[in-house]
Amino acid sequence: MIAERIKIVEKKIDEACTRAGRNRSEITLIAVSKTQPNEAIIEAFNYGIKDFGENKAQEFKRKTDEIKEKITWHFIGHLQTNKVKDVVKSAEFIHSVDSLKLAKEINKRAAKIDKKQKIFLEINTSGEESKFGLRNEDEIWELAEFCSGAANLELVGLMTMAPFVSDEETIRNCFRSLKNLKEKLNLAGFAVSELSMGMTNDYEIAIEEGATMLRIGTAIFGSRNY
Ligand SMILES: *Cc1c(COP(=O)(O)O)cnc(C)c1O
């Protein structure tokens, strides 16, 4: 089942790359394994997926402790400062940095284990109150400045979630504004290369708009049982 689903997703990724004139090798597929059992993760790993994403610190800790496969782990969910330690221990990337307080704590915890933690700033591009992420431009710039100057942080990219709607233009505009922000930051001297955007509902649009990391759950594992 999982293998079949991955095949379909890979085919759609290839087709979107062709449409957009992009190379598949520019894009990392992250399998979002939240709520899924370890066996499902191992099955997807054995089929060739090396990157997995989790959104809850406790579940992240459990799975990264239990699963011994050589996985590249991504933390993609809202993170509270008291849970930072467990996440920094095993996450190659943290996609959801959305406050100075959180960035400072990650920097501090990474320093303790002599690590340079790769991070994304999470941007709220849809304006939805229900979503996390930075909306205020001044706050975004302040945080980018802090992260770039922090000894144990490496700001690699920006992350966003488009709204769950059927209107393609609304989704596309969110992804475009993330890309525009990346270009603005780079013009100002930051070196932000990654765009973490695109989920089951909208990853083909995200590829067309420049995504370099896709976070896909349902299309790989099927629907979640909470
Ligand atoms: C759950 C989740 C995803 C994946 O969602 P699907 O619609 O199942 O592909 C992506 N990003 C974040 C931050 C998530 O929490």
Tell me the per-residue pLDDT of 122-136, one tens digit each, with 9 for 90 and over: 999 999 988 999 999
Q: Calculate ∠ Cα 24-172-163, nearest 5°.
A: 110
What are the phi and psi torsion angles at 195 (to 5°)? -120, 110
Q: Please, which pLDDT band fits residue 114 given cuts at 50, 70 and 90?
A: very high
Buried b / exposed e along 171-188 (16+ C-beta atoms within 10 A): bbebbeebbebbeebeee
Whole-structure pTM value: 0.97
Ligand 1 neighbours, Cβ below 6 Å, are 32, 34, 55, 76-77, 161, 199-201, 215-219
**Mutate which of 97, 165, 197, 199 to test ligand 1's pocket (most atoms within 8 Å of Cβ)?**
199
Number of folded domains that form the chain? 1
Q: Please, which pLDDT band fits residue 226 given cuts at 50, 70 and 90?
A: confident
**How many Å lie between the centroid of ligand 1 and the Cα of residue 138?**
27
For residue 14, give its domain range: 2-221
- Domain presence at residue 72: yes
The structure tokens 């769950």 sit at 164
- Domain presence at residue 74: yes
* pLDDT tens by residue, 28-62: 999 999 999 999 999 999 999 999 999 999 999 99
- Domain presence at residue 226: no
Q: Please, which pLDDT band fits residue 225 given cuts at 50, 70 and 90?
A: confident
**How many Å lie between the centroid of ligand 1 and the Cα of residue 100?**
24
Mean pLDDT of 13-37: 98
- Domain presence at residue 101: yes
- Domain presence at residue 188: yes
CA distances for 211 relative to 26, 114, 151, angstroms: 9, 30, 27
- Domain presence at residue 93: yes
**How many Å lie between the centroid of ligand 1 and the Cα of residue 189?**
31
* CATH code assigned at 11: 3.20.20.10
Buried b / exposed e along 84-93 (16+ C-beta atoms within 10 A): bbbbbbebeb
- Domain presence at residue 18: yes
Q: Does residue 32 contact residue 53 with C-beta atoms inside 8 Å? A: yes
**Mutate which of 29, 32, 54 to test ligand 1's pocket (most atoms within 8 Å of Cβ)?**
32
Q: Ligand 1, closest atom to CA 95?
A: 13
* pLDDT tens by residue, 164-199: 999 999 999 999 999 999 999 999 999 999 999 999
- Domain presence at residue 116: yes
CA quadruple 127, 27, 32, 193: dihedral, nearest 10: -50
Q: What percent of the chain has pLDDT over 90?
A: 98
